[in-house]
Amino acid sequence: MALDIAPKRLPVPEQSAEERIKNFNDVVIGYSIEEAVAESARCLQCKNAPCIKGCPVSIDIPGFLKAIKEKDLEKSWDIISKYTNLPAVCGRVCPQEKQCEGVCTVGRIKGYEPVSIGKMERFIADWKAEHGSKVAPKVPEQTKGNVAVVGSGPSSLTVAGDLAKMGYKVTVYEALHAAGGVLMYGIPEFRLPKAIVRREIENIKALGVKIETNVAVGRSVTIEELQSHFDAVYIATGAGTPHFMGVPGTSLNGVYSASEYLTRINLMHGYEFPKYDTPTKESEKVVVVGGGNVAMDAARSALRLGAKSVQVVYRRSLEELPARIEEYHHAVEEGVVFNWLTNPVEYVGSETGNIVGVKCIRMELGEPDASGRRRPQEIKGSEFTIEADTIIEAIGQGPNKVLLSAFPELKLNKKGYIDADPETGQADPEWVFAGGDIVTGAATVILAMGAGKKAAEAIDKYITEKKAAGK
């Protein structure tokens, strides 16, 4: 098949590895208008558009790409913003290789790469913020009902924005002092600049959504108060409680959960201490445990804080690495060293209680486990020690207990997450809806947004029917 398009995607300008490890700025610089127009011309405008089905919030991808190709950027923005409230975020952090770009028709042709959909989404959102018209969005009068949203991460922001557009009065309660959830405290500045998160949140507030920070629902506001003031509640408090492996030495000084390490840096600006008051420790030799995106973020942050060496230990191999492949490549370019098939068994401390090394054991892959991945098993007698003054554990998170313990009537599943209908997000009791990581366990930003999208429709239906029935 001869196609009249470039087989390779247009490379995206990036900061060089040597330069970027000295700063926390966005690694990817992004397309210029000319580059975006050229890349959008690679879209075949497929009738069946598999990319739309690959996107959890079903953005009209051929539509917004066509508008870019025609240089009608306002139109492109209008199309995209119908489907998503967080395009600058998703364009940056979605694992597109497993979603829209993974099913792109162009990418399925031998020798061709898929269209750079994520980078184009990011381009149009950034263009709109810098150059687009600043007319306030038209929002209907908010008279259809009152909805409370608990948590202000991506799932919550999606529900809030969508319900406001439908005519609901929405109040978002956030426990931390800044809205955005994992977008603010978890994902680092160099992957997702916080100014961009704040900008997208301002766009959602412009729809009439009220965001109240410093409110821990379950403690600052009771469940009874929620029920009496609102027609429905959406709970998206995430999976924010860090797990520890529990090996000996876990409480030595210098051992962190990735959640703590990243919160100090991202939310509290620890990398700007003492201009900001929250300190981070200077490290020379850092070991990160785990292989997900959180592990990549922690490792790359440690380099930027000046660590001389950063090693990742992961109990499986590259093939099973759950992190985004782009982030793994970035980490390698920046000098992060990977120890495959390796697991810590003990953190070794000095007499003064500081970490000095991590004793590890080599692993081999056995039979596939319930998840279908080959189960790592220890190789007896293969222990060795890596010197380290800082350990960061990034082995996963569980549901946050503050709200759940205050709400014993709420039905949970066996794993302790909220038991909600996968299609509607409706939970038990029926006035409660839930979505994102508090239902699925730790997953991705876009899946949390997809859940929010479905829940917004279900909440609208629930309240409309309830009011019609005169309740």
Which residues are within 8 A (CB) of 56 and not within 5 positions of it... i.e. 6 or more apart?
Answer: 99, 446, 447, 449, 450, 453
Q: 459: burial class by Cβ within 10 Å (0-12, 13-18, 19+)? A: buried
The verdict on 253 binding other proteins (CB under 8 A) reads yes
CB 67 within 8 A of CB 81: no
The verdict on 227 binding other proteins (CB under 8 A) reads no
The verdict on 137 binding other proteins (CB under 8 A) reads no
Which residue, 99 or 259, is less far from other proteins as judged by CB?
259
Report the C-alpha gap between 95 and 323 in whole angstroms: 9
Return the range that interacts with other proteins (CB under 8 A); candidates 6-14, 49-57, 270-278, 286-294.
270-278
Query: Which tokens sit at 246?
Result: 């529990």
CB 299 within 8 A of CB 288: yes
Query: Which tokens sit at 160?
Result: 């809030």
Pick the binder of other proteins from 7, 11, 13, 353 (CB under 8 A).
353
- DSSP class per residue in 243-309: P----TTTTSBTEEEHHHHHIIIIIT-GGGTTTSS------SEEEEE--SHHHHHHHHHHHHTT-SE
Which residue, 37 or 247, is less far from other proteins as judged by CB?
247
Which residue, 10 or 201, is less far from other proteins as judged by CB?
201
Query: What letters, b where the CB count within 10 A reaches 16 and e where it falls short, cover 59-71?
Result: bbbbbbbbbbbee
The verdict on 82 binding other proteins (CB under 8 A) reads no
Mask: binding to other proteins, 307-346, rule CB under 8 A, as x and -? Answer: ----------------------------------------
Amino acid at 35: E
Which residue, 46 or 348, is less far from other proteins as judged by CB?
348
Report the C-alpha gap between 401 and 181 in whole angstroms: 16
The verdict on 424 binding other proteins (CB under 8 A) reads no
Which residue, 84 or 156, is less far from other proteins as judged by CB?
156
Q: Quote the least distance from Cβ 266 to other proteins, whole Å.
A: 11
Q: Quote the least distance from Cβ 185 to other proteins, whole Å.
A: 8
The verdict on 242 binding other proteins (CB under 8 A) reads yes
The verdict on 410 binding other proteins (CB under 8 A) reads no
Q: Quote the least distance from Cβ 269 to other proteins, whole Å.
A: 7
Which residue, 264 or 316, is less far from other proteins as judged by CB?
264
Query: What letters, b where the CB count within 10 A reaches 16 and e where it falls short, cover 260-271?
Result: ebbbbbbbbbbb
Pick the binder of other proteins from 15, 227, 250, 317 (CB under 8 A).
250
Amino acid at 346: E
The verdict on 220 binding other proteins (CB under 8 A) reads yes
The verdict on 175 binding other proteins (CB under 8 A) reads yes
Which residue, 146 or 250, is less far from other proteins as judged by CB?
250
Question: Cα dihedral angle (140, 123, 292, 374), rounded to 10 degrees?
Answer: 100
The verdict on 139 binding other proteins (CB under 8 A) reads no
Q: For 45, left (φ over 0), alpha (ψ -120 to 50), or beta? A: left
Pick the binder of other proteins from 273, 317, 333, 419 (CB under 8 A).
273
Query: Which phi and psi (to 5°) does residue 107 adopt?
Result: -65, -20
CB 222 within 8 A of CB 357: no
The verdict on 241 binding other proteins (CB under 8 A) reads yes
Which residue, 75 or 199, is less far from other proteins as judged by CB?
199
Taking residue 375's Cβ as centre, other Cβ atoms within 10 Å add up to 15
Return the range that interacts with other proteins (CB under 8 A); candidates 142-150, 268-276, 313-321, 459-467.
268-276
* The total number of residues written for the chain in this structure: 471
Pick the binder of other proteins from 7, 13, 140, 279 (CB under 8 A).
279
The verdict on 274 binding other proteins (CB under 8 A) reads yes
Pick the binder of other proteins from 400, 426, 440, 444 (CB under 8 A).
400
Which residue, 349 or 435, is less far from other proteins as judged by CB?
349
Q: Which residues of the shown chain bind other proteins in the complex (CB under 8 A)? A: 175-177, 185, 213-216, 219-222, 240-242, 244, 246, 250-251, 253, 256-257, 259-260, 263-264, 268-269, 273-279, 281, 352-353, 400-402
